[in-house]
């Protein structure tokens, strides 16, 4: 298994707005070969920190997703978000291979 975290900080007063966006996400990634699970994590000690966690069958499935058209389409939409402060946020991406369960 392969897990990818996209960690980003949003203004605390906009955290619920961003959470609502993810609750209503397009779910295109859910159809990608090798996709297993999507979760949005809200850091309870840092209220403005959100983490998108996506679990994949393997690293190649993830690499196929990020090089595909649906990935590009989703991220192009994010750049056009009306709230330019939110649109300008860039996540820190961390990738993990599951080595024991």
Report mean pLDDT in 10-residue bins for the chain, 101 residues.
Answer: 97 94 92 98 97 98 96 77 80 97 92
- Parent domain of 16: 2-97
In angstroms, rounded to a whole number, what is the distance separating the alpha carbons of residues 4 and 37? 11
> The domain that contains 29 carries what CATH number?
3.30.70.100
In angstroms, rounded to a whole number, what is the distance separating the alpha carbons of residues 101 and 97? 11
pLDDT at 29: 95
For tokens 């779910």, the residue is 27
- List beta partners, residue 96: 3
User: 15 and 48 in contact (C-beta within 8 Å)?
Assistant: yes
Region of 45 please: left (phi>0), alpha (psi -120 to 50) or beta. Answer: alpha
Q: How many domains does the chain have?
A: 1
Region of 27 please: left (phi>0), alpha (psi -120 to 50) or beta. Answer: left
pLDDT at 79: 66
Name the residue among 49, 41, 47 with its Cα closest to residue 22.
41
pTM: 0.89
């Amino acid at each position: 298994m392969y897990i990818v975290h996209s960690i980003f900080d949003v203004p605390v007063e906009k955290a619920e707005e961003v959470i609502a966006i993810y609750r209503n996400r397009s779910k295109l990634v859910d159809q990608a070969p090798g996709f297993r699970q999507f979760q949005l994590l809200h850091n309870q000690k840092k209220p403005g920190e959100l983490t998108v966690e996506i679990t994949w069958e393997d690293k190649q499935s993830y690499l196929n997703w990020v090089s595909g058209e649906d990935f590009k389409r989703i991220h192009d939409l994010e750049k056009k978000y009306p709230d330019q402060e939110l649109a300008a946020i860039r996540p820190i991406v961390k990738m993990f291979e599951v080595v024991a369960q």
